Amino acid sequence: MAAREGREEMAATKPEVVRKAERLVVSTMGGRDASHDAAHAFRVRDLALSLAKEEGLDSSPRSLEIVELAALLHDIGDYKYTKDLVEDTTIVEKFLEVEVLEESKREKILGIIKGMGFKNEVAQLSFVNSSVELGVVQDADRLDAIGAIGIARCFTFGGSTNQILHDPEILPRQGLSKEAYMKKEGKQTTINHFHEKLFKLKDLMKTKAGKERAERRHKFMQDFLAEFYDEWSGRA
């Protein structure tokens, strides 16, 4: 009873725009597979706010609002779930306009969403217009991609796309371009995704708080994959 009352009290203190953003996330992402569903957006939001406080942004309500909204809305137009496999921020743009957020906030939120993806890092486009807010949201999203939850999400997405679990004959791709990473051409395996992306995220963290948290999650993935290979080969 006390826990429920606490959640209700926290919900009552949220700005109206945040509550509306949460509802938009549920309505647009609720039907997806569990790798990129509404729960993912809420976890990234919670991680981002936690990192923001560790990075000293808690003294700026404006920065925290930008961080929270960008984190909540960041995957609504994810190219993996759009008709033409291209990033689409139309829904987010309309939402921010309807909520009459000042132009500078809208631009900052959209800039974070458009610039935080791993595909942009592959193309060396990420962090051109860097900010602490962008780093915080980007790190939060990447933390949710590694560790125990990251492993669960990786296999969930692989299963949802009928991807091969593992094939020693299919080697991880090297030197990927942004286009090749997005198109996923040729045979891919879920295990190769660890080598092509997930193991790289620890060294791409932008904030001190993100780097510290990534260490533990990265080690967990290394231990998991070592066990996986032992079991696959019959050694364990």
**99-156 confidence digits (pLDDT tens):** 988 999 999 999 999 988 886 665 555 544 579 999 999 999 999 999 999 999 999 9
Q: Percent of the chain having pLDDT more than 90?
A: 73
- The gap between the terminal CA atoms of the chain, to the nearest Å, is 46
Lookup: tokens for 33 = 């597979």
> What does the alpha-carbon distance between residue 117 and residue 121 come to, in Å, rounded to a whole number?
7
Which pTM does this prediction carry? 0.88
| pLDDT at 236 exceeding the cut of 90 | no
The domain in which residue 67 lies consists of 2-233
> What is d(CA 228, CA 226) in angstroms, rounded to the nearest whole number?
5
Domains held by the chain: number? 1
**Tokens describing residue 226:** 């070592």
pLDDT recorded at residue 86: 76
| CATH number of the domain that residue 121 is part of | 1.10.3210.50
Tokens for 6? 């606490």
At 124, give phi and psi (nearest 5°). Answer: 60, 35
E strand residue ranges, the chain:
none
